Amino acid sequence: MGRVLLAAVLLSLAVPAFAARTVLVFGDSLSAAYGIASDQGWVSLLARRLAESKPPWQVVNASVSGETTAGGLRRLAEDLRRHQPAIVLIELGANDALRGQPVAGIRANLEQMVRIVREAHAVPVLVGITIPPNYGIDYVREFQSIYPALAKKDQVALVPFLLEGIAEGRENFQDDQLHPTAAAQPRILDNVWATLEPLLRKKAP
């Protein structure tokens, strides 16, 4: 019995004081570094910033180019089970809107994802986004309103607009005028950081 107790004590001493906690980025091509090197994307920049934090945080990028809210909803529970994050950034909806999907369906999918994240004892963060105005002003306005309205209704942390300070300049985008360049990624990180950083401090042991 004494040897077992000693072994348990030695094992506990070998475990770091703080295990790394996880931020899960659950998005589409805007978070998957589409068209640029993966280490230039804002999620990789976030991971490097958090690698130096005390206590430590790690970042898992579960973003998939072309992902919709329906597709994200189908795979969310498994990613939560696998990675057990403390914070989940939900950056989805743009591909739905680019396909002209009903706004009510997009909103319902996002709201269900928020609920699933909370049921997994993680903190959800909605990431606001928009689409080009050529899809119709009324539709674009209705789509944009999903994020602040849902954040207010369900008391969810919100990144107001992922591409704040970027969307206004064509030079900030690749040739498709949809995906930001590598040079624009630090600004995207700053937009996310303004909302994320207080949550990291709040979740610290």
Q: Is 31 a catalytic residue?
A: no
Identify the CA nearest to 30 among candidates 205, 144, 167, 197: 167
Q: Is 121 a catalytic residue?
A: no
The residue from 12, 53, 179, 190 that is catalytic is: 179
Rounded distance between C-alpha atoms, residue 53 and residue 24, angstroms:
16
The residue from 12, 138, 175, 176 that is catalytic is: 176
CB 28 within 8 A of CB 63: yes
The residue from 28, 29, 63, 83 that is catalytic is: 29
CB 42 within 8 A of CB 92: no
Identify the CA nearest to 52 among candidates 8, 78, 20: 20
Q: Is 138 a catalytic residue?
A: no
- Could you give the angle at which helices 137-144 and 103-119 cross, rounded to 10 degrees? 10
Residues acting as catalytic residues: 29, 176, 179
